[in-house]
């Protein structure tokens, strides 16, 4: 068992006296009902502080295959990769693949297993998370006894918690993580037929098997296809029972799939979970997304939270955690909080970069978001794809080069790599750059690289003609530059569209941007065709906080047909936790037309 501090601690007024008298008291006002203007006085019961720690329940074993996902790994015409988990080990683990949903004469492919230590947050026997309220002095530092042990005001669980103070992460105490031995499985189906729908099950010959899933292999160059993009589901464990964030992420993908009309695959541009160390979060998002995950392959990009430990003060990143949960290639055999790789689909070339490749070292002395070896790999990979006749090149990465929130302008690793990467994007004729990380809606105009003396973000808008197609969509006519797309978030954590605010406000809430000048801000905003925070909130009036109350999610649908690539961005709205109906609305569309 290992102990980690998590984020911020609960408020503690008059708790010590109450505990000395053996009382059970509310921890804070997180459970108070919001005033509705009617004068009602009813309150929800909030978390209750108690002197003794609740009895910790064991982590339940689960040998029915779970956390199942299919990924591209190899030739997408003939191969498909699979990943799943069980608690106990099954030596005969495999995947069954058939052209027939009744599995007549299925092909079988053995899986390779690996024993892992997963970390789960302690729960009581009702399934609630257990938190410790650590005593603090006036400076906010833990008070320790003569033996150096942190003193406690008591314990509480997340039973009956609610309200923005809780969901934002302001009232969590300290949690313990308990280790659970589990087994991951990776299988690889080969010699499949192109442009073909297959059915599959994972499991073991004598043990549990999954329900039936399906996927489609790619076809020949020029065959039309479509895929959906969503990003930053980033569900936090402490909201599992308060305002479950994984259900929003799963719903975003489900509605993207329905809107697109069974896309050929889905793309997630990183930050699957809040903390990579907390297996509860992986399990929650995978379980709730299971119907969608089992109906299409997932092209997975690693985000910074997908390598992040629970303790914010711990600099030791979890370099293998992302790749435990997916079965994707590792370019240069490198695994650094994720991996970089590429795949071809019907003549389009998809490149997945790894912006967690930002640790300082021999390969990356400046701590750029992308190291030297990966940058060289990206260049060679795209050049080879172009030589082989790829019509379209799409670069997918987590950390954005351009967005309407603060990360693109504040993150040192992004600023250090932008000049080099955007020049390569230009030189390699990349058509689209699909991003994540900043939880805000942003879509640029067609951008070209320029020197820093001309633009502090190395970008200029291309003067390119737009032509209206028969579908009434305006297409950029043979652009030389690239369009950058960031579809907000698939989860509930929203950021402010900070560059739309006044310069005074920006410098107040993000002091690291005190260097920003009016002309810089005007230039930066001129690069965007679309940008805003769809969620209506007062949280950003006087500060920039990463709020977790959003019911406004976005996704993008990409359709490739012949010499045209069409992009549609959709807006979801409606709070499922309040029983509100979910609505899907098209808010932006554009296309790219290439004659060569």
The secondary structure of 369-422, three-state, reads CCCHHHHHHHHHHHHHHHHCCCCEEEEECCCCCCCCCCHHHHCHHHHHHHHHHH
Closest C-alpha to 47, from 129, 174, 161, 126: 161
| Neighbouring residues of 59: CB distance < 8 A, sequence distance ≥ 6 | 120, 178, 180
Token pair listed for 574: 């409606």
141: confidence class by pLDDT, cuts 50, 70, 90: confident
pLDDT at 250 exceeding the cut of 90: yes
Q: Has residue 176 been placed in a domain? A: no
Mean pLDDT of 312-324: 91
* One domain, residues 242 and 190: no
Q: Has residue 565 been placed in a domain? A: yes
Number of residues written out for the chain: 596
pLDDT score at 542: 84
pLDDT in tens, 407-425: 999 999 999 999 999 999 9
* CB distance 506 to 513 below 8 Å: yes
pLDDT at 248 exceeding the cut of 50: yes
* One domain, residues 200 and 346: no
pLDDT score at 346: 98
pLDDT score at 45: 62
pLDDT score at 47: 80
DSSP 8-class letter at 272: -
Mean pLDDT of 436-459: 97
The number of distinct structural domains making up the chain is: 2
Higher pLDDT, 437 or 313: 437
Tokens 């879509």 correspond to 443
* One domain, residues 340 and 400: yes
Mean pLDDT of 135-162: 91
Instruction: Specify the range with the lowest mean pLDDT, choosing from 303-317, 450-464, 486-500.
Output: 303-317
| Cα gap 573→371, rounded to integer Å | 39
Higher pLDDT, 488 or 173: 488
- The pLDDT > 70 percentage for the chain reads 92
- Residue 572's φ and ψ, nearest 5 degrees, are -100, 145
Closest C-alpha to 267, from 235, 240, 233: 233
Mean pLDDT of 487-504: 96
Q: Has residue 31 been placed in a domain? A: no
Q: Report the CATH number that the domain containing residue 271 is assigned in CATH.
A: 3.60.21.10
pLDDT score at 1: 42
Q: Which domain holds residue 386?
A: 218-593
pLDDT in tens, 325-363: 999 999 999 999 999 999 999 999 999 999 999 999 999
pLDDT score at 156: 96
Q: Has residue 374 been placed in a domain? A: yes
* One domain, residues 264 and 188: no
* CB distance 124 to 55 below 8 Å: yes
C-alpha triplet 320, 282, 531: angle, nearest 5°? 95
pLDDT in tens, 20-77: 333 344 554 333 333 333 334 344 467 889 999 999 999 999 999 999 999 999 999 9
* One domain, residues 197 and 293: no
pLDDT at 8 exceeding the cut of 80: no
| Cα gap 144→458, rounded to integer Å | 51
Instruction: Specify the range with the lowest mean pLDDT, choosing from 7-11, 90-94, 261-265.
Output: 7-11
Out of 169, 204, 239, a domain closes at: 204
pLDDT score at 140: 82
Other CB atoms within 10 Å distance of the CB of residue 596: 5
* CB distance 302 to 340 below 8 Å: no
* One domain, residues 187 and 261: no
pLDDT score at 494: 95
313: confidence class by pLDDT, cuts 50, 70, 90: confident
DSSP 8-class letter at 499: G
Write down the H helix ranges in 289-325: 290-293, 321-325
* CB distance 293 to 260 below 8 Å: no
Is the pTM for the entire model greater than 0.75? yes
- The pLDDT > 90 percentage for the chain reads 85
- Residue 560's φ and ψ, nearest 5 degrees, are -115, 120
| Cα gap 229→436, rounded to integer Å | 10
* CB distance 414 to 463 below 8 Å: no
* One domain, residues 194 and 226: no
* One domain, residues 226 and 188: no
pLDDT at 100 exceeding the cut of 90: yes
| Cα gap 498→545, rounded to integer Å | 11
pLDDT score at 336: 96
Q: Has residue 43 been placed in a domain? A: no
Mean pLDDT of 448-476: 97
Instruction: Specify the range with the lowest mean pLDDT, choosing from 45-49, 160-164, 252-256.
Output: 45-49
Mean pLDDT of 142-166: 91
Out of 136, 171, 204, a domain closes at: 204
* CB distance 176 to 122 below 8 Å: yes
Q: Write out the E strands in 440-497.
A: 441-444, 447-449, 459-461, 466-468, 474-477, 483-487
SS3 179: strand
Q: Report the CATH number that the domain containing residue 92 is assigned in CATH.
A: 2.60.40.380
Q: Has residue 226 been placed in a domain? A: yes
Q: Has residue 311 been placed in a domain? A: yes
Q: Has residue 174 been placed in a domain? A: no
Out of 142, 172, 204, a domain closes at: 204
* One domain, residues 490 and 358: yes
Tokens 């490739």 correspond to 560
* One domain, residues 267 and 191: no
* One domain, residues 390 and 425: yes
Percent helix, strand, coil in the chain, to 5, is 20, 30, 50
539: confidence class by pLDDT, cuts 50, 70, 90: confident
Closest C-alpha to 493, from 556, 437, 546, 554: 546
* CB distance 199 to 86 below 8 Å: no
Point out which residues pair with 528 in neighbouring strands.
444
* One domain, residues 194 and 94: yes
Closest C-alpha to 435, from 346, 355, 533, 500: 355
Tokens 């309407």 correspond to 404
* DSSP state string for 79-90: -EEEEEEESS--
| Cα gap 248→244, rounded to integer Å | 8
Compute the mean pLDDT over every residue in the chain, rounded to the nearest whole number.
92
């Amino acid at each position: 068992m290992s102990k980690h501090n998590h984020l911020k601690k609960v408020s503690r007024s008059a708790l010590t006296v109450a505990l000395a008298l053996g009382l059970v008291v509310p921890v804070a006002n997180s459970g108070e009902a919001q005033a509705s203007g009617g004068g009602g006085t009813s309150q929800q019961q909030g978390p209750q502080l108690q002197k003794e720690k609740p009895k910790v329940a064991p982590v339940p074993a689960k040998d029915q295959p779970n956390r199942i996902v299919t990924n591209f790994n190899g030739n997408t015409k003939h191969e498909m990769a699979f990943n799943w988990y069980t608690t106990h080990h099954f030596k005969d683990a495999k995947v069954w693949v058939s052209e027939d949903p009744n599995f007549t004469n299925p092909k079988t492919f053995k899986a390779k297993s690996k024993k892992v230590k997963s970390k789960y947050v302690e729960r009581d026997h009702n399934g609630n998370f257990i938190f410790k309220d650590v005593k603090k002095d006036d400076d906010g530092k833990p008070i320790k006894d003569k033996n150096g042990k942190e003193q406690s005001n008591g314990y509480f669980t997340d039973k009956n918690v609610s309200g923005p103070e809780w969901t934002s992460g302001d009232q969590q105490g300290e949690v313990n993580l308990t280790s659970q031995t589990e087994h991951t499985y990776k299988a690889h189906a080969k010699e499949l037929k192109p442009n073909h729908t297959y059915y599959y099950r994972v499991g073991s010959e004598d043990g549990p098997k999954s329900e039936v899933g399906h996927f489609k292999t790619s076809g020949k160059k020029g065959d039309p296809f479509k895929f959906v993009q969503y990003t930053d589901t980033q569900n936090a464990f402490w909201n599992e029972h308060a305002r479950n964030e994984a259900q929003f992420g799963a719903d975003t993908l489900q509605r993207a799939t329905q809107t697109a009309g069974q896309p050929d695959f889905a793309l997630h541009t990183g930050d699957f979970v809040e903390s990579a160390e907390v297996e509860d979060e992986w399990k929650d998002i995978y379980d709730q997304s299971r119907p969608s995950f089992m109906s299409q392959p997932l092209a997975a990009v690693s985000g910074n939270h997908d390598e992040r430990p629970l303790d914010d003060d711990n600099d030791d990143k979890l370099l293998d955690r992302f790749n435990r949960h997916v079965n994707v290639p590792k370019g240069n055999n490198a695994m650094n909080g994720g991996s970089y790789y590429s795949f071809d689909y019907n003549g389009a070339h998809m490149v997945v970069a790894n912006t967690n490749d930002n640790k300082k070292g021999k390969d990356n002395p400046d701590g750029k978001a992308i190291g030297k070896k990966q940058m060289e790999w990206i260049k060679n990979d795209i050049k080879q794809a172009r030589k082989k006749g790829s019509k379209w090149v799409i670069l997918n990465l987590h950390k954005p080069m351009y967005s309407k929130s603060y990360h693109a302008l504040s993150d040192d690793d992004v600023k250090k790599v932008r000049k080099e990467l955007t020049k390569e994007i230009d030189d390699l004729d990349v058509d689209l750059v699909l991003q994540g990380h900043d939880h805000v809606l942003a879509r640029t105009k067609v951008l070209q690289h320029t020197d820093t003396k001309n633009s502090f973000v190395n970008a200029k808008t291309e003067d390119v003609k737009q032509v209206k197609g028969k579908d009434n969509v305006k297409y950029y006519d043979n652009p030389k530059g690239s369009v950058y797309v960031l579809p907000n978030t698939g989860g509930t954590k929203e950021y402010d569209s900070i560059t739309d605010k006044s310069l005074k406000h920006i410098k107040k809430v993000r002091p690291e941007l005190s260097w920003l000048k009016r002309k810089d801000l005007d230039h930066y905003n001129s690069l965007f065709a679309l940008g805003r925070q769809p969620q209506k909130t007062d949280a950003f009036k006087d500060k920039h906080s990463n709020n977790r109350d959003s019911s406004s999610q976005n996704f993008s649908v990409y359709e490739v047909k012949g010499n045209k690539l069409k992009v549609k961005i959709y807006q979801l709205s409606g709070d499922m936790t309040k029983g509100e109906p979910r609505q899907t609305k098209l808010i932006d569309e554009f296309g790219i037309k290439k004659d060569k």
